[in-house]
Chains A and B, each alone.
Chain A
């Protein structure tokens, strides 16, 4: 198929429909409104259902219900709306149901602003809701990758019976780039024989539940989920390394910020400074091993994490670097986007020993 020019938000919605998603429940919030708008228009045309719920809490519980019935279902929101959804997300994770949750992040805390940010990293990768659980968190940095990861995300969710989050930001949601909806090979997925589709006496009753009153039973349940997480870590971790061979400074960034760092790498090269990029594509599972593999190299003098936040992913980077090399942070927050020249200045400061 040929390329089309699409807004990130619209590309997410179209990718979801092409991946077989037929149910969308949401509540409006900037800067992700093009997703529900697109779904409202398109889902009825393909026999699906779009519903604007009365609140985010209602929307995520509708997702819970549809996922329990075995449907491909998604919701999308932006930071404050995702906070409201956390209770439901924890239930969905506890009940081991697949669904796709899109967070087009804006500045926070509180109602914050509507400009792009990455300050929901902790919320996305460390839990967000209550209890022991993880979301599988995918962080695209181009519109094409957004399309690919949305489609892949549904499969990952189904394969492991775990909610998947796409962590974008206002810039990725609003910008346009050429995209191609490629013919893709869906994964071999297990049958959804656990889904509550109506009992006809021909199989054991399917029960969707996240309540386990007996602590021993709950512990076993959680431990089993954590075994699944080990498989996810082993099979699904994704990362891109760019220009790291012989790099003096390795910058780590994801999503929009990783694009900006690509520009920085070019600027630095013009001044003879060798900069590499480690771009986590899965934020959970975090590609810790990739950092470990570069950290021992002699040519790597230091790591710098760049985020649109006060420093969240940098904690995972620093843990992975494990004190073997210095790990620095540079960030802008509140909807401010780092400027390539300011990042270059940081790199120069690190090289000059002024950090």
Chain B
């Protein structure tokens, strides 16, 4: 099985670290993974993005052109990547910042008010974790939230371990929103 994910948003929304966490967690579960960031002029115009691949097989091209899932944290990202979702794939939209609906009717679309939910948890910076929690909760993910927390422990330095409970809550909240 191969998950091919594009995560995109404004610079500062944490899409790069969200992708790294997911790749790290996949690695901890013994999968083959890759993480590829956009860099340079690609980032202008509001879409910092990264491609994450999690696979049982060797990862070929690290570029995702046919996404099994797209996580869009802002409108330019939705506009840019909506078409790349494969039929039957998943699209997660941060409805706090995106005021339109998806035009696709051949995919599964989830609207997650990630910023509002993050604010409610007390820190708007964990909107990315809310989105990631939603992604992990949908059927068929090969990565568990536990592995993401494990990855977070390794990625965050010893001085930032206090951020883990908040992120854990955010991941959980994202999962609840999917199942509601």
Contacts and interface: CB of A to CB of B under 8 A. Distances in A.
Interface string B52-64: 0000001111110
Contacts of B60: 259-264, 266, 340
Residue of A5, A113, A261, A262 contacting most chain B CB atoms (<10 Å): A5
B20 interface: yes
Contacts of A259: 59-62
Contact of A176 (B23, B40, B61, B63): B23
Nearest to B19: A176
Residue of B34, B58, B60 contacting most chain A CB atoms (<10 Å): B60
Interface in A151-197: 170-171, 174-178
Interface string B1-36: 000000000000000000010011001000011111
A61 interface: no
B37 to A, nearest CB: 6
Interface residues on B, range: 20 to 34
Contacts of A114: 39-41
Contact of B63 (A113, A170, A178, A337): A337
B65 interface: yes
Contact of A115 (B20, B40, B61): B40
Residue of B36, B42, B61 contacting most chain A CB atoms (<10 Å): B61
Contacts of B59: 177, 259
A31 B40 contact: yes
B46 to A, nearest CB: 19
B65 A341 contact: yes
Contact of B61 (A5, A170, A340): A340
Contacts of A266: 60
A176 B39 contact: no
Given A3-B27, A31-B40, A176 B20 contact: yes
A171 B3 CA distance: 20
Contact of A30 (B36, B39, B65): B39
A18 interface: no
Contact of A5 (B24, B37, B41, B65): B24
Contacts of B58: 262
A264 B61 CA distance: 9
B134 to A, nearest CB: 23
Interface residues of A, number: 25
Contact of A178 (B27, B36, B39): B27
A261 B32 CA distance: 17
A3 B32 CA distance: 11
Contacts of A210: none
A340 B64 CA distance: 10
Interface in B89-117: none
A339 interface: yes
Contacts of B36: 171, 174-176
Given A5-B27, A30-B40, A114-B40, A175 B35 contact: yes
Contact of A175 (B27, B34, B42, B65): B34
Contacts of A264: 60
B22 to A, nearest CB: 11
A175 B40 contact: no
A115 B58 CA distance: 24
A171 to B, nearest CB: 7
A324 to B, nearest CB: 29
Interface in B108-158: none
Given A263-B60, A339-B65, A5 B39 contact: no
A115 B39 CA distance: 8
A254 to B, nearest CB: 14
A91 B40 CA distance: 34
Contacts of B39: 30-31, 114, 170, 174
14 contacts: A3-B27, A5-B23, A5-B33, A113-B40, A114-B41, A171-B36, A174-B39, A176-B20, A178-B32, A259-B60, A260-B61, A262-B58, A262-B60, A263-B61
Given A5-B23, A259-B62, 6 more contacts: A3-B27, A174-B39, A176-B36, A178-B27, A340-B60, A340-B65
